Copies of this chain bind each other. A is one copy, B any other.
Amino acid sequence: MAVNLRIPGPTPCPEEVLEAGAKPMINHRGPEFREMINRITERLQKLFYTKNDLFVLTASGTGAMEAAIVNTLSPGDRVLVVSIGEFGERFAAVARAYWADVVDLKFEPGTPADPDAIRKVLAADPRIKAVLVTHNETSTGITNDIPAISKVVKGEFNKLFIVDAISSIGSIPCPVDEWNLDVVTSGSQKGWMAPPGLAFISMSETAWKAQAQARMPRFYFDLAAAKRYLQRGQTPWTPAVSVFFALDASLELIDKEGMESVFTRHAVVAKKTREGVKSLGLKLLADERYASNTVTAVRVPEGVKAADIISRMDKEENVVLASGQGKLDGKIFRVGHLGYCSEADIQGVIDGLKRVLPMVGYKG
Q: Chain A interface (Cβ within 8 Å of chain B)? A: 2-3, 5, 7, 9-13, 18-19, 21-30, 58-63, 66, 93-94, 97-99, 187, 189, 195-197, 216-222, 236-243, 246, 314, 320, 322-323
The contact sample of 15 A-B pairs, CB cut-off 8 A, is A5-B24, A7-B27, A10-B27, A12-B25, A13-B24, A21-B21, A58-B63, A59-B63, A63-B220, A98-B219, A196-B240, A196-B242, A220-B221, A240-B243, A242-B242
A12 to B62, CA, bound (A): 29
Chain B residue at minimum C-beta to C-beta distance from A196: B238
A27 to B18, CA, bound (A): 16
Chain B residue at minimum C-beta to C-beta distance from A66: B220
Given contacts A189-B238, A197-B58, A241-B10, contact A22 B27 (CB under 8 A): no
A195 to chain B, nearest CB (A): 4
Q: In the assembled complex, which residues on chain B have CB atoms less than 8 Å from the CB atom of A59?
A: 58-59, 63, 220, 237
A260 to B30, CA, bound (A): 33
Q: In the assembled complex, which residues on chain B have CB atoms less than 8 Å from the CB atom of A2?
A: 24
From B3, B29, B93, B241, A24 is in contact (CB under 8 Å) with B3
Chain B residue at minimum C-beta to C-beta distance from A336: B27
A241 touches B196 (CB 8 A): yes
Chain B residue at minimum C-beta to C-beta distance from A246: B242
When all copies of this chain in the complex are counted, the total is 2
Q: In the assembled complex, which residues on chain B have CB atoms less than 8 Å from the CB atom of A216?
A: 217
A329 to B63, CA, bound (A): 31
Chain B residue at minimum C-beta to C-beta distance from A194: B242
A221 to B26, CA, bound (A): 27
A319 to chain B, nearest CB (A): 11
Chain B residue at minimum C-beta to C-beta distance from A222: B97
B195 touches A242 (CB 8 A): yes
A18 touches B26 (CB 8 A): no
Q: In the assembled complex, which residues on chain B have CB atoms less than 8 Å from the CB atom of A12?
A: 24-25
A242 touches B197 (CB 8 A): yes
A197 touches B243 (CB 8 A): yes
A83 to B192, CA, bound (A): 41
B9 touches A238 (CB 8 A): yes
Q: In the assembled complex, which residues on chain B have CB atoms less than 8 Å from the CB atom of A21?
A: 21-22, 242
A341 to chain B, nearest CB (A): 12
A276 to B93, CA, bound (A): 55
Given contacts A5-B25, A26-B10, contact A237 B61 (CB under 8 A): yes
